[in-house]
């Protein structure tokens, strides 16, 4: 497969993950109007976000068993097609319960699509570019945070929350067309080499789960602070409310740069780079604790935090695929599960600490502790990893 077709295939998959990232987080900016329209409280409306995370974490792996039996391109088209039609169901939902149900279906397709896309992306590029391929798909999610979510929130504010879902449908339709035109029909060799029973047997190895645990730890630390970053910035850092979007913009820019650099590090030296990034995450949270009250430092902190938070992702995911070997198809569908478990734990622990302390000042402690635990798990697990071949040939 020539270089240009490969690039177009990756662009198509990037558009798909951009749509996924936009629809997952777009609700956060729509909650007040959504709650008022559907006659529920804002906290109850917030369960739409939780339900999505549950759909990705549980529905994604279950649904991925079906794509494993299909040609990858057909599976991707089916998943992104249902995902896109699901946006219409969300936009037309007559009640809160129907909206939650539609979001769960969309989320299950999200989880399965991302897993299948990661596996396909790493098989259509040379082995020494696999990390960069994963990084490009992750860049779709980070770009959604920088562009898609703010744009969707602006559309929802101007034209109503339902129109925001119609806008995601349009993005999904473009991604579907790009996949249909540019993604190859070829089935990855490793996916052919291992059936579902062989993949489950491979995933019984504890070395594979080490990286799921590390992902969950890192995301828990990030979301404990990020879920309540607005009150942290206004109450602790004394930023004005108008400056918070600028912090988030810089965080998004840093995260995009982070996944690019992380992808290149994944192709260079995986485990040492992963350990270094986890150490830098600990340093970042300790910096928040030490200098969180210095207003002028917060905007640069946003850029740095976004970088170290997301440089981690391509490294961890590339290592999961490498360690899983012939079970990469099933393992990849569990990656979003690990991320969303971390998201749920982080948001819940942050809410608990905020409720217990009454102030967001202590929130970075969760990140410092969980990322230190992730680094410790990585160090302790090295003997386990040595007992399992990183890549099994089909």
pLDDT digits (tens, 9 = 90+) for 8-51: 999 999 999 999 988 887 876 677 788 889 998 866 777 787 78
Q: Rounded distance, CA 374 to CA 253, Å? A: 25
Q: Any idea which residue has 């898609």 for tokens? A: 148
Residue 191 pLDDT > 50: no
Q: And the tokens for 317?
A: 């995911």
| 133, 138, 159, 253, 363 from 141: Cα distances, Å | 14, 5, 24, 12, 25
Q: Rounded distance, CA 100 to CA 44, Å? A: 11
199-386 placed in CATH 1.20.1250.20:
yes
Considering only CA atoms, which of 227, 224, 212 is closest in space to residue 339? Answer: 212
Q: And the tokens for 248?
A: 């988030």
Sign of CA dihedral 32, 33, 38, 39: positive
Concatenate the DSSP letters of all residues of 339-376 into one string.
HHHHHHHHHHHHHHHHHHHSSGGGHHHHHHHHHHHHHH
The angle subtended at Cα 114 by Cα 97 and Cα 127, nearest 5°, is 175
Q: Rounded distance, CA 158 to CA 296, Å? A: 32
Q: Based on the number of CB atoms within 10 Å of its own CB, is 253 exposed (0-12), middle (13-18) or buried (19 or more)? A: middle
Q: Rounded distance, CA 313 to CA 320, Å? A: 11
The H-assigned helical ranges of 127-195 are: 130-143, 149-159, 161-182, 189-193
pLDDT tens-digit series, residues 242-271 = 787 788 788 888 988 898 898 888 877 888
Q: What is the mean pLDDT of residues 374-386?
A: 81
The 8-class DSSP code of residue 97 comes to H
Where does the pLDDT of residue 192 fall: very low under 50, low under 70, confident under 90, or very high at 90 and above?
very low
Q: Based on the number of CB atoms within 10 Å of its own CB, is 296 exposed (0-12), middle (13-18) or buried (19 or more)? A: exposed
Q: And the tokens for 175?
A: 């991604």
Where does the pLDDT of residue 198 fall: very low under 50, low under 70, confident under 90, or very high at 90 and above?
low
Query: Could you tell me which residues come within 8 angstroms of residue 146 by beta carbon, excluding any fewer than 6 positions away?
Result: 249, 252, 253, 255, 256
Residue 393, pLDDT score: 36
pLDDT tens-digit series, residues 148-177 = 877 887 888 789 899 999 999 999 999 999
Where does the pLDDT of residue 281 fall: very low under 50, low under 70, confident under 90, or very high at 90 and above?
very high
Query: Could you tell me which residues come within 8 angstroms of residue 280 by beta carbon, excluding any fewer than 6 positions away?
Result: 308
Sign of CA dihedral 107, 109, 112, 115: negative
Residue 183 pLDDT > 70: yes
Q: Rounded distance, CA 32 to CA 43, Å? A: 10
Q: Rounded distance, CA 108 to CA 204, Å? A: 23
- Same CATH topology for 3-187 and 199-386: the answer is yes
In this structure, the dihedral spanned by the alpha carbons of residues 5, 312, 174 and 144, taken in order and rounded to 10 degrees, is -150
What's the CATH superfamily of 3-187? MFS general substrate transporter like domains (1.20.1250.20)
Q: What is the mean pLDDT of residues 125-131?
A: 78
- Separation of CA 388 from chain center: 27
Q: Where are the domains positioned within the chain?
A: 3-187, 199-386
Residue 265, pLDDT score: 87
Residue 69, pLDDT score: 60
Q: Rounded distance, CA 116 to CA 106, Å? A: 15
Q: Do 87 and 172 meet the contact criterion of CB atoms below 8 Å apart? A: yes
Between 369 and 73, whose confidence is greater? 369
Catalogue the E-assigned strands of the chain: none
């Amino acid at each position: 497969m020539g270089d240009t077709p490969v690039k177009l295939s990756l662009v198509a998959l990037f558009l798909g993950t951009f749509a996924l990232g936009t629809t997952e987080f777009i609700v956060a900016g729509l909650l007040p109007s959504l709650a008022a329209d559907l006659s529920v409280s804002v906290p109850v409306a917030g369960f739409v976000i939780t339900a999505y995370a549950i759909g990705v974490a549980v529905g994604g792996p279950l649904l991925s068993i079906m794509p494993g039996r299909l040609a990858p391109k057909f599976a991707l088209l089916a998943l992104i097609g249902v995902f896109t039609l699901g946006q219409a169901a969300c936009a037309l939902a007559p009640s809160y319960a129907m909206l939650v149900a539609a979001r769960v279906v969309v989320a299950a397709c999200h989880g399965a699509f991302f897993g299948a896309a990661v596996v396909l992306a790493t098989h259509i590029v040379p082995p020494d570019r696999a990390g960069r391929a994963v990084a490009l798909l992750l860049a779709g999610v980070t770009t959604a945070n920088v562009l898609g979510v703010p744009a969707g929130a602006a559309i929802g504010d101007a034209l109503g929350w339902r129109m925001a879902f119609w806008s995601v449908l349009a993005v999904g339709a473009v991604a579907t067309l790009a996949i249909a035109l540019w993604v190859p029909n070829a089935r990855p060799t490793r996916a052919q080499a291992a059936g579902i029973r062989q993949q489950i047997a491979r995933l019984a190895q504890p070395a594979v789960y080490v990286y799921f645990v590390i992902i969950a730890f890192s995301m828990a630390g990030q979301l404990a602070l990020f879920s309540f970053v607005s009150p942290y910035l206004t109450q602790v850092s004394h930023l004005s409310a108008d400056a918070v979007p600028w912090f988030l913009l810089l965080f998004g820019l840093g995260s995009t740069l982070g996944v690019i650099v992380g992808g290149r590090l994944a192709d260079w030296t995986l485990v040492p780079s992963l350990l270094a990034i986890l150490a830098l995450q600990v340093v970042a949270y300790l910096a928040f604790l030490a200098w969180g009250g210095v207003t002028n430092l917060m905007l640069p902190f946003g850029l740095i935090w976004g970088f170290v938070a997301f440089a981690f992702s391509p490294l961890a995911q590339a290592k999961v695929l490498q360690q899983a070997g012939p079970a990469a198809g099933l393992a990849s569908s569990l990656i979003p599960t690990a991320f969303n478990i971390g998201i749920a734990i982080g948001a819940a622990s942050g809410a608990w600490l905020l409720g217990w302390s009454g102030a967001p000042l202590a929130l970075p402690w969760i990140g410092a502790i969980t990322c230190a635990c992730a680094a410790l798990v990585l160090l302790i697990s090295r003997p386990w990893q040595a007992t399992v071949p990183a890549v099994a040939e089909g």
